[in-house]
């Protein structure tokens, strides 16, 4: 259910204060210690951030997609590792259940996810199945009244702290592609689950990522999301549609923050007897960044509005993610350039954010996969509808 405008603005104001008073001051320490302090996680729980998109019926805030992107933009004015604390509960970790879960599955897990009592992770990627997600080989073999899971899931965000996983696994080995894949909601405390060591990433320090290894892990039949086999890949793709749009909004929030950092530096830093912002080559970088952010953000908001109105957004979500993730990469690169040598040392915010934003062109589908998806949809739309509508239709 949509919030009224005043409630939404109050929420965004509160989050903006949280970002500036609690998160930004903690960024440098989080980067060096690779850990988000417990009091910040508690603060996020108190603000209801774990349940932003979970329907109110299951104790979440039930934000519409249009509202969700405003929240994502606001919160990512701080380093993106903070968002990842609750990010999987809000997007890929919970949405499989929201989209395809049975009432029983929803009642069991969603209220606890919304309250931040459990952390939910999304386990799709494997060592040999990254961009080609439909080639995954993790097996879910029917045995008695349940399934036995075997396989390895790679680069799973929040796995080191997860209480529950949405796991995509092959229930029908005869079907090689998407059709043989089912989705399961798996309690992380089940026997037969082992975690790899946390990855030492180049950025987003504090965000936790590791492999998850299933070795004869028995799950009950009730763990099959929706109670029907063969729907797992489609569920995962629908989850990613919304996840990609959410990520696009976070790219825009980060870009806006980075532009502020660059602008402050351009005004403060003096060379040749004047602020470097007086020089036209610096001005050009600022102008390009501002313009690129504003256009990407306008597009993301438009797609979110369409999603809220119930329009299909698969292609548009890929466009938004591609556009915004490439945009924030360029914005961060220019900000480092404006900072000069200071932009290359980790005590400077833009140096850390430059490392952080690199991930956006990779996860939840690389830029190359987004382009492939966009073009595929354009061609299908032309074949089936006789047109491939642009966003301005």
Q: To the nearest whole angstrom, how small is the minimum distance from the Cβ of residue 363 to ligand COS? A: 5
Annotate each residue in 168-197 with x if it binds ligand COS (CB under 6 A) or - if it does not, as one string: ---------xx-------------------
Q: To the nearest whole angstrom, how small is the minimum distance from the Cβ of residue 128 to ligand COS? A: 13
Cβ–Cβ contacts within 10 Å for residue 365, how many? 25
Contact status: 137 vs ligand COS (CB under 6 A): no
Stretch (H or E) spanning 186: strand 181-187
Annotate each residue in 298-337 with x if it binds ligand COS (CB under 6 A) or - if it does not, as one string: ----------------x-----------------------
Question: What are the beta bridge partners of residue 181?
Answer: 170
- For ligand COS, which is the closer residue by CB, 48 or 100? 100
Number of residues that bind ligand COS (CB under 6 A): 20
Contact of 240 with 313, CB cutoff 8 Å? no
What sections of 153-279 are H helices per DSSP? 232-268
> Pick from 24, 28, 195, 237: which binds ligand COS (CB under 6 A)?
237
Residue 308 to residues 256, 295, 305, 339: CA-CA distances in angstroms?
A: 24, 20, 5, 40
> Pick from 22, 234, 371, 377: which binds ligand COS (CB under 6 A)?
234
Annotate each residue in 241-270 with x if it binds ligand COS (CB under 6 A) or - if it does not, as one string: x-----------------------------
Q: Does the active-site annotation cover 222?
A: no
**Burial of 323 (C-beta count, 10 Å sphere; 0-12/13-18/19+):** buried
Contact of 220 with 329, CB cutoff 8 Å? no
> Pick from 104, 131, 271, 346: which binds ligand COS (CB under 6 A)?
131
Q: To the nearest whole angstrom, how small is the minimum distance from the Cβ of residue 234 to ligand COS? A: 4
DSSP string covering 30-76 = HHHHT---HHHHHHHHHTTGGGTTS-GGGTS----HHHHHHHHHHHT
Q: To the nearest whole angstrom, how small is the minimum distance from the Cβ of residue 345 to ligand COS? A: 30
Annotate each residue in 367-386 with x if it binds ligand COS (CB under 6 A) or - if it does not, as one string: --x---x-------------
- Residues 4-33 interacting with ligand COS (rule: CB under 6 A): none
DSSP-assigned letter for residue 27 = H
Contact of 190 with 169, CB cutoff 8 Å? no
Q: To the nearest whole angstrom, how small is the minimum distance from the Cβ of residue 157 to ligand COS? A: 7
Q: To the nearest whole angstrom, how small is the minimum distance from the Cβ of residue 194 to ligand COS? A: 20
Residue 46 in tokens: 């108190």
Query: CA torsion, points 176, 182, 188, 190, in degrees to nearest 10?
Result: -90
- Residues 56-85 interacting with ligand COS (rule: CB under 6 A): none
Rounded Cα distance between 259 and 107, Å, is 43
- Residues 344-363 interacting with ligand COS (rule: CB under 6 A): 363
Pairing of the two strands 274-275 and 270-271: antiparallel
Catalytic residue numbers, as ranges: 364
Interacting residues toward ligand COS by CB under 6 A: 124-125, 131-134, 177-178, 233-234, 237-238, 240-241, 314, 363-365, 369, 373
């Amino acid at each position: 259910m949509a919030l009224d405008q005043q409630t939404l603005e109050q929420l965004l104001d509160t989050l903006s204060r949280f970002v500036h008073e609690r998160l930004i001051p903690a960024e440098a320490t989080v980067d060096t210690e690779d850990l988000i302090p417990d009091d910040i996680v508690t603060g996020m729980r108190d603000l209801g951030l774990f349940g932003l998109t979970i329907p109110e019926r299951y104790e979440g805030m039930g934000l519409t997609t249009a509202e969700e992107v405003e929240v994502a933009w606001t919160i990512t004015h701080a380093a993106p590792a903070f968002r990842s604390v609750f990010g999987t509960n809000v997007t890929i970790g919970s949405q499989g259940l929201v989209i395809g879960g049975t009432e029983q599955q929803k009642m069991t897990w969603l209220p606890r996810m919304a309250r931040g009592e459990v952390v939910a992770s999304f386990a799709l990627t494997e060592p040999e199945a990254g961009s080609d997600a439909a080639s995954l080989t993790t097996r879910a073999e029917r045995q008695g009244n349940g399934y036995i899971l075997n396989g390895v899931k790679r680069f799973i965000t929040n796995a080191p702290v997860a209480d529950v996983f949405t796991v995509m696994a092959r229930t029908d080995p005869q079907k090689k592609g998407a059709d043989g894949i089912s989705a399961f909601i798996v309690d992380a405390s089940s026997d037969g689950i082992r975690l790899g060591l946390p990855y030492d990433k180049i950025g987003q320090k504090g965000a936790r990522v590791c492999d998850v290894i299933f070795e004869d892990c028995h799950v009950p039949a009730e763990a099959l999301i929706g109670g029907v086999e063969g729907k797992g890949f489609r569920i995962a793709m629908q989850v990613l549609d919304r996840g990609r749009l959410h990520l696009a909004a976070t790219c825009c929030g980060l870009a806006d923050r980075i532009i502020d950092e660059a602008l402050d530096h351009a005004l403060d830093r003096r060379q040749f007897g004047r602020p470097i912002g007086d020089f036209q080559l610096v001005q050009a970088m600022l102008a390009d960044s501002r313009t690129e952010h504003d256009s990407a953000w306008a597009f993301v908001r438009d797609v979110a509005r369409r999603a809220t109105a119930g329009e299909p957004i698969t292609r548009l979500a890929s466009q938004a993610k591609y556009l915004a993730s490439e945009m924030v990469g360029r914005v961060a690169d220019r900000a480092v350039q404006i900072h000069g040598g200071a932009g290359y040392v980790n005590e400077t915010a833009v140096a850390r954010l430059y490392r952080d934003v690199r991930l956006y062109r990779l996860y939840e589908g690389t830029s190359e996969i987004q382009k492939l998806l966009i073009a595929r949809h354009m061609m299908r739309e032309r074949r089936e509808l006789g047109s491939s509508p642009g966003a301005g239709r």
